[in-house]
Chain A
Amino acid sequence: MAAKSKKDLLVANAILAPLDWVDERTGAVRGTKWFLFRNVPRDVSWAQTLGSAALTAFIVQTLTGVILAMYYEPSSSIDPITGKPIAYSSIEAITNELTLGWLVRGMHRWGASVFIILLFLHMGRVFLFGAYKYPRELTWITGVFILATGMLLGFTGYLLPWDQTAYWATVVGINLNGTAPFAGPWLAQFLAGGPEIGSDALAKWYALHMLVLPGAIIGLIGVHIYLVTRLGVSSPPWSSEEAGRERPPVQTTGTRSGLVRGGGGGD
């Protein structure tokens, strides 16, 4: 027993000491514990997994996107060898020639749709549960911004293959923005790089798609997850075990008695 505990102690030191060292300086371990080892309402179930599922889809998008960026070339000039635009040729090469390129491109393409669907389902779930109400208003608002940024990511990514569907969907999208009062025509001309889509537009949209918008959405997702962890997940409102349900009138004195009782329970 003693020998074993001594061995345990060694192992614990070997593993925990570095963790302690990091935690003392960053608080990272405490943060992870705060995130993982918290309680959620006991009736939380499958409906509340849509958010994390969307996060998984987003992580798939990030990974596959980074890899695609290693092979994709955002140029609308004509490739002298293939006689087609360089961007289009690089998409052809990713799909047809590079080993497993088709899979990564396919996952990125379909991951986008799955991500958007999951965002909508997640939003519908939150609406159904009334989970956007006090105190989770800001969680909802960051969520709406995530949805909007996600759709912008889909829209900017749609141009990149530089095929007919991509080009004309983008023309319409740019001109949609162009109909906004006052600034619309200016915004449209900025997005197109001139009165019509010009030779700089593809690289500009590529930068938006893989630098600007991902930065924005990652920040928003971080805030969103922090708020969810801080405020907790809400129970299904029809559940008999709902966390925060109204109690029979034994404890009518309200917050004060609740706090006292809560303190007692903790001890």
Chain B
Amino acid sequence: MSDTSHDTPHLPGPSLWPIGFAIGVACLLLGLVISWIVAAIGAVLAITFGFLWARDVTRSVRDDVPEIEPEARAVADAPSDDTADTTPASLPTYSRTRFLEASTIGLGAAIGAIVTVPALGFMVLPSFTNLEEGKADLGPIDNFPEGTFVIASYLASPTAGEVSRRTAFVRNNGLAEGDKPSFTILYSRCVHLGCPVQPNGPIDEAAKKEVNGVELRPVLAQSFGCPCHGGLYDAEGNRQAGPPVRSMDRYTFSIKDGRLVLGELYAVGNVSGTGANAKISRYPWSTPGTHVDGVEAWLYPIVPSQVTG
């Protein structure tokens, strides 16, 4: 089973020159169509590699060239003459075998990396990059009566369409200190597992307004219930009952030309105080069901929004 017995140099060894020659010819033919520069390069390649190939092929008839791998060959050949039948396993061909093993594994890993790294990157990264959603304009602040929640349904990203429809519960708190308008804006998803929270109270369908694609419906509610697993929140979004792990998510907001513009979403650990005087413990937004404060928050040390901004 020893390979060394077949390894005598009667035939010319494998050579890369024919490939270079073929590329040169292909280049020459292509160049005839495209431009004479390419043709010239092709011709030079073809001639060069053709010469090298010819020299290679005719080496054995021209004269004795020295062994290419003198040391390894000598060691391998010498014992094979003596002990070929008895102990072929002990032939010291290991260095070559090892090399082939290692390079096979190495090349395989390189192939794997070249193929899978971009593919995996493309699979994973779009979910974490370029996530900028447009700032939703909910219309004039006069549409939000003081002290009452309004269910605002809007498109977070008009280009993405209905899949980006979001609902916020907006309450105008009147003017805070320094005559700045104050709003409490809660996100409609339960912070347990993301179900659509319902306001507990009659919705005034008669007062429904549609302001450039944003649907506004006032609702007489001071609490919110989740239809899935029994979560219950008060008017500040604090948990009253059930499994929610934090207070309801809130939006930052800004007032531009008398219009209410939603900013980014953030997670809330707890709210003390109410309305304009609320003290909010604010954290970067995270998936529903993940704690943002307390000991359990250690389970989620880095969340995507901390990295992607």
Contacts and interface: CB of A to CB of B under 8 A. Distances in A.
Query: So, do A and B actually touch in the complex, CB under 8 Å?
Result: yes
B289 A198 contact: no
Contacts of A188: 287
Contacts of B305: 195
A175 B287 contact: yes
Interface string B242-265: 000000000000000000000001
A142 interface: no
A174 B49 CA distance: 59
Interface stretch (B78-86, B190-198, B207-215): B190-198
Contact of A179 (B189, B285, B287, B304): B287
A184 B287 contact: yes
A201 B160 CA distance: 12
A89 to B, nearest CB: 13
A198 B300 contact: no
A77 B160 CA distance: 8
Interface residues of A, number: 30
Contact of A189 (B164, B299, B304): B304
Interface in B127-181: 127-128, 131, 160-164, 166
Q: Which of A168, A182, A188 has the most CB of B within 10 A?
A: A188
B288 A175 contact: yes
B126 interface: yes
Nearest to A201: B163
Contacts of A186: 303-304
A208 to B, nearest CB: 11
A76 B289 CA distance: 26
Contact of A172 (B131, B162, B194, B304): B194
B238 interface: no
A188 B289 CA distance: 11
A168 B189 CA distance: 11
Interface in A180-225: 181-182, 184-186, 188-190, 192-201
B127 A175 contact: no
A178 B162 contact: no
Interface residues of B, number: 30
Contacts of A168: 195-196
A179 B191 CA distance: 11
Nearest to A202: B163
B194 A175 contact: yes
Given A181-B299, A184-B287, A189-B304, A176 B160 contact: no
Contact of A185 (B162, B196, B265, B300): B300
Interface in A233-267: none
Contact of A77 (B161, B228, B290): B161
Interface string B288-309: 1110000000011101110000
A179 B131 contact: no
A148 interface: no
B286 interface: yes
A216 to B, nearest CB: 16
Interface of B: 124, 126-128, 131, 160-164, 166, 189, 193-196, 228, 265, 285-290, 299-301, 303-305
Given A78-B162, A168-B195, A178-B287, 18 more contacts: A77-B163, A85-B162, A171-B189, A172-B193, A174-B194, A175-B194, A175-B288, A176-B193, A179-B287, A185-B300, A185-B303, A190-B127, A194-B127, A195-B305, A197-B163, A198-B160, A198-B163, A199-B164
